[in-house]
Structure 1
Amino acid sequence: ASAFRGSKTGRLYLTTHRMIFNNKSLNDPMVSFSFPFCTISEMELEQPVFGANYIKGKVRAQPNGNWVGEAKFKLMFKKGGAIDFGQAMLKASAFRGSKTGRLYLTTHRMIFNNKSLNDPMVSFSFPFCTISEMELEQPVFGANYIKGKVRAQPNGNWVGEAKFKLMFKKGGAIDFGQAMLKAS
């Protein structure tokens, strides 16, 4: 089917029974696609040296679905690598030091989920309306990173503003920055 041709950009949602992809383009014949776990086979996580990490596999058509057969898929995603709240503006221990985890991008915010469950900061939300002085840095030596400032929101469990630095140790800072410009 022509709906399956080409690359698609959008959001991927995970439930206890399936993955759901919602296409960013409303003009594409495939607006959304459901991947029930019971229909997925040969799924593998790929972590290439260059380029974004991705999951690939095959999905079978569901009975009474709007397509037949089997389709291959490749879901690309970005890992934020590390986040560093390196500033003296905040005294809260949750902001001290570097954190490692995943960075998610939505149309309204970035969300960092800490890999360590023992850290006082389990997650952190960066609504776009609270971010300022954002820059993408490409040092000669070291990983590319995105830096900026984020202001606290009312009832956000902290006060003031914080400088942040998102390091992409496995690549992807430029791709993430471009996706962020499109999302905001």
Structure 2
Amino acid sequence: MGYLIRPVKADEWKRLRELRLAALSDPVARIAFNEPFEKVAAYPDEVWQRRAARSDEDRDPLTFIGEAPDGSWGGMVVVLVEQEDADERGGGEAPWAHVVGVYVRPEHRGTGLVRDLFAAAVEWAWSRSGPAVERVRLWVHQENDRAAALYRSLGFVETGRTMADPKDEGAVEYEMALERA
């Protein structure tokens, strides 16, 4: 199935909200996402309008969607650019792109859609100017083996950095990154 991969448009905020809530309703949401359904469902319309408008203006966080030939949205990925003031050695760090909010509806899984979404997110990150993004990263929950395998197949590697799951201090998330070639 051929998908149109594109940023969300400002007037599509209701569809964006629906897709995000579908993601947070997925059975793996507890390990895949850090925001609970109840919190996100309570966001006012202005939050969704702002998120959609930023993507439409090519500003991060930018949400890419995969639109099927019938107009339905099969999935999404969100990418933003971050930069820490300093790393643990005291030096500045180049900005990186951070991929979050990866979701593909069950009926669209296995179609290659997630690969196309990632390709768009990475291409967008690499195309940023001054200062250039040198790395795309994401965090994956220790129990999310399926996602980790997908990220490895896309060229992401574990960096050795970990953090406690914000929802469960007893669980760990680990960083995976893709370096600019």
TM-score normalised by length of structure 2 = 0.30
Structure with the higher fraction of residues in helix conformation: 2
Flag the structure with larger Rg. Answer: 1
Q: Which has the higher strand share?
A: 1
What is the TM-score with the length of structure 1 in the denominator? 0.30
